[in-house]
Copies of this chain bind each other. A is one copy, B any other.
Amino acid sequence: MPRLRLALAQTNPVLGDLDGNARSIIDTVRDAASKGADLVAFGEMAISGYPIEDLAMRPSFLAAAHERVHLLARELAEAGLGDVPVIVGHPDGPFEPRLLGTSNAPTAIAQNAASVLQGGRVVARYAKHHLPNYSVFDEYRIFIPGDELLVLRIRDIDVALIICEDLWRDGGPVGRVLHADAGLLVVINGSPYERDKDEVRLPLVTRRAIETDTIVAYVNLVGGQDDLVFDGDSVVVGSDGAILARAPQFVEHLLVVDLDPEGATDAQLPDDVRRVELSPGTPSNEKPEIRAEIAELPDDREQIWNALVLALRDYVEKNHFPSVILGLSGGIDSAVCAAIAADAIGPGRVFGVSMPSRYSSGHSRSDADDLAERIGLHFRTEPIADLVLPFEVQLGLTDIAAENLQARARGVILMGLSNQEGHLVLTTGNKSELAVGYSTIYGDSVGGFAPLKDVPKMLVWELARWRNAHASSRGETPPIPENSISKPPSAELRPDQTDQDSLPEYDVLDAILEAYINGGLSIADIVELGFDRPTVERITQLVDRAEWKRRQSAIGPKISRTAFGRDRRLPITYRPTAV
């Protein structure tokens, strides 16, 4: 005889597509209502997608989002779904700019909000208090913080509502809603995946539940948005810290759970907490109890693989590409990229091109051919010798200039086929080689999406082995040729070249990169960890130089408020309506 049936809607919105996202929300509410939900909660910014970045500075977009939420409330009621209260995250505004004295600078005019819809109306609203501005987050730049807390009374249960970062801050809204004696704390989130994030996220939710003696329901977005991947992993934790329900990672999911929260008291609310009484709806004690799902997280490598697959799929689909194309060198990086692409959108939409030069080994062609056959992708061969020679002769290029020419001819081929046939070009470089600048600008770096951009080389091998073993365990053909995994890596830009001619072994390289880039350690610190000083000096110098090389095409002087690059450095993928 549960007192509240809660539905957490883990959805995958398309950034900027207000109408499309609203339609998908209505479908999900219909599903939740058919399962007897008393309350449905969607993720942060579910109506607009997240992060909205520069769109937060456009008054017309904010007004459209505001309007769309009110329209959604009416549409839900017209669809016979007006009874069940629905919590939906959205950008709101435009508001008066946050005061910045006389600087006359472009300032925040938006809030990161959640509205509660019932009976055809927006009956309550909350604005996020804590605006993260570290790592991938830029919220302090674009949002005005909220200053009022919200408690919803549903029949006789008090439900407090906060947004994402609000949960993370000690002494933040969580501490104050505690005084409201809520039985349930709903947190709506746009929390991107990163490796081992479950080692901080779930313990935090658990700790907050225990600290506040409240059930905590955590609903997250899912899906790829440019270089972010939201993993879902929505969860409900009881006030004793036990997991009551958990959604699977990396898929859309409606998590329905029956809860028995503490009843509301008539405790005096703090001044900044607003309580809103909702209509009772259908009492849930008439419904047979539901056994809530508690999904298990797969192991680390499978999580990473799933993240990479979903990121690529959503980039392709949300940007409406029919297919992808990539160079297949016979090496490990392009093989893993091809396997990710086939898992993401099916092998029939993956086009591989072998582009052998006069220095290419026999195995580079046969391994590429083997890969194409294992995966079942489209495969063609475009030799580059006759394309490169005229440049080399006319310009008199030698040494590295001539080596780079080969990589650039391949870039021109892939972009030409992309322009002719419509494919998205994948660039296959991994994080280790990107970090040290071991690639050719406008050559192998050409492409619209880089599946392995954040995957160090040692992890590329690990993922390849995992993916093959995973296939074997299910009786499928392992997609990646064993030879691509086991042979020494080489750019094959001159005879008998291998990566280790100019780089240390990859296990050493990756460890130094981890210390220098992720750890922020100095050269002295890294040497102290046990690495050879000349190697550390060489690698850190390569990283500093590559940092510069990576942005070789983005720099130009700024003379106005809205130069491209720095000001407009917050681009978004998809704007179906330029409002």
Which residues of A approach B to under 8 Å, CB–CB? 57-60, 99-107, 132-136, 138, 140-141, 165, 168-172, 192-195, 200, 204, 207, 224, 226-229, 304, 307-308, 311-312, 315, 319, 382, 386-387, 390-391, 394-398, 400-401, 404-405, 408-409, 411-413, 415-417, 419-420, 427, 431, 434-435, 441-442, 445-455, 517-518, 520-525, 537, 540-541, 544, 547-548, 550-569, 571-575, 578-579
Contact = CB atoms under 8 A, between A and B. Distances in A.
A442 B409 CA distance: 11
A540 B578 contact: yes
Contact of A227 (B387, B523, B563): B563
Contacts of A553: 427, 445-448, 450, 553
In this complex, the member of A200, A400, A416, A565 whose beta carbon has the largest number of chain B beta carbons within 10 angstroms is A416
Given A398-B420, A559-B193, A107 B136 contact: no
A228 to B, nearest CB: 6
A557 B413 contact: no
A451 B195 CA distance: 40
Given A391-B416, A416-B401, A558 B192 contact: yes
Given A446-B553, A557-B308, A134 B441 contact: no
A523 B452 CA distance: 38
B556 A449 contact: yes
Contacts of A517: 562, 568
Nearest to A169: B101
Report copies per complex: 2
Top 10 nearest A-B pairs (CB, nearest first) are: A453-B556, A60-B522, A311-B557, A450-B556, A101-B169, A401-B419, A103-B168, A401-B420, A454-B563, A101-B170
Contact of A312 (B57, B552, B557): B557
Nearest to A519: B562
Contacts of A105: 132, 134-135
Contact of A454 (B59, B200, B559): B559
B401 A194 contact: no
Contact of A101 (B171, B445, B521): B171
A384 to B, nearest CB: 9
Contacts of A307: 557, 559
Nearest to A567: B135
Given A556-B227, A578-B541, A194 B561 contact: yes
A195 B133 CA distance: 29
A579 B521 CA distance: 9
B563 A170 contact: no
A165 B103 contact: yes
Contact of A391 (B172, B311, B413, B431): B413
B60 A558 contact: no
A39 to B, nearest CB: 27
Contact of A59 (B103, B315, B520): B520
B573 A548 contact: yes
A395 B411 contact: no
A166 B441 CA distance: 41
A133 B136 contact: no
26 contacts: A60-B523, A101-B172, A102-B168, A102-B170, A134-B141, A135-B567, A136-B567, A140-B140, A194-B558, A194-B561, A228-B566, A229-B559, A308-B559, A311-B556, A391-B412, A401-B417, A404-B415, A408-B416, A435-B564, A448-B552, A450-B555, A453-B564, A454-B560, A454-B564, A518-B561, A544-B575
Contact of A200 (B104, B141, B200, B556): B104
Given A101-B169, A454-B564, A559 B400 contact: no
A571 B575 CA distance: 28
Contact of A168 (B101, B106, B400): B101
A571 B547 contact: yes
Contacts of A449: 555-556
Contacts of A103: 132, 134, 165, 168-169
A172 B99 CA distance: 12
Nearest to A58: B520
A419 to B, nearest CB: 4
B565 A194 contact: no
Nearest to A315: B555
Contacts of A420: 395-398, 401
A552 B454 CA distance: 16
Contacts of A409: 412
Nearest to A311: B557
A453 B541 CA distance: 29
Contacts of A563: 227, 431, 453-454
B395 A386 contact: no
In this complex, the member of A103, A451, A551, A575 whose beta carbon has the largest number of chain B beta carbons within 10 angstroms is A103
Nearest to A566: B136
A521 B106 CA distance: 14
Contacts of A523: 60, 578-579
A415 B568 CA distance: 27
Nearest to A578: B540
Contacts of A541: 578
Contact of A565 (B319, B447, B453, B555): B453
Given A105-B135, A193-B558, A308-B559, 16 more contacts: A60-B521, A60-B522, A99-B170, A100-B168, A102-B207, A105-B132, A227-B556, A308-B557, A382-B394, A397-B420, A400-B419, A408-B415, A450-B553, A453-B564, A454-B557, A455-B559
